[in-house]
Structures are given as structure tokens and as C-alpha cells.
Structure 1
């Protein structure tokens, strides 16, 4: 996400949209003005699946503030 910093510690929470997909805790770091978060997504059968990126929700928490974005461009 291209966004201003929310403070020294930023935590990203990523939801896959479909309730049956397990999402790992996000590994989050900054690359300039971009916040980069990486997660593992595992469906119930643990087999490849198509992700509806429009249903992904990213919530970033930091310094008493929160930013939420619906949809993911990839």
C-alpha cells in the first residue's frame, strides 16, 4: 500500500474475504512510502485456489489510528 506512515510500529491485518481461508499473521515492513505486507493464504483443502482480490480487506493499525482498504491490486 502506498500510504503515509502511521508511526514507528505499523501492524497489518489481512482478511481474504472468504471465511474458510486461513490467513497467517502479516510480515510487514516499509519500502519508502510503501507499506509491504506478506501473508500465507491456505484454503481448507490446502490446494491451489483462485483468490477474489476484490474481497481482500487490509487494515493497518498504528499510533492510535487505523486505515482500511477494501480490494487488492496484486
Structure 2
């Protein structure tokens, strides 16, 4: 896995590159969610969606996660 800052600025977020993606690879754009990811809140599905995306990357052998440093719901 390789990690790059979005547009060279880590304050915006990071690209997590799994394997060696090619044209048509899986991509997930994900906004940081403290409640769903770290706290496992039942009020949102961010954590399970993120985990499912990573599982799909692993099954496909590659993928790109665009992890944005913003709260998706503004919480």
C-alpha cells in the first residue's frame, strides 16, 4: 500500500493506493467519520462502508481510497 497526500496537502486528505491499480480499478471517495469509524455508531454506515471497500480492494487485488479530511455530515 502506498499513501499520498491529496494534492500534496495532508490537510485535505490522503490517497491510499492498494496494489497496482489500472484503468477501471475500484475507487472509494470517503469522508472522515469519527462516529462511524472509530466509535462504531449505529447512526451511520461510514465504518461498514469503509471496511467493505477495503475488502473489495483486497478481492480485486488493487484499488484506491480517497480519504478526505472532512466530516461527511458536518458532525
**Normalised-by-shorter TM-score class:** under 0.3
Q: Which has the higher helix share?
A: 2
Higher relative contact order (CA 8 A, sep 6+): 2
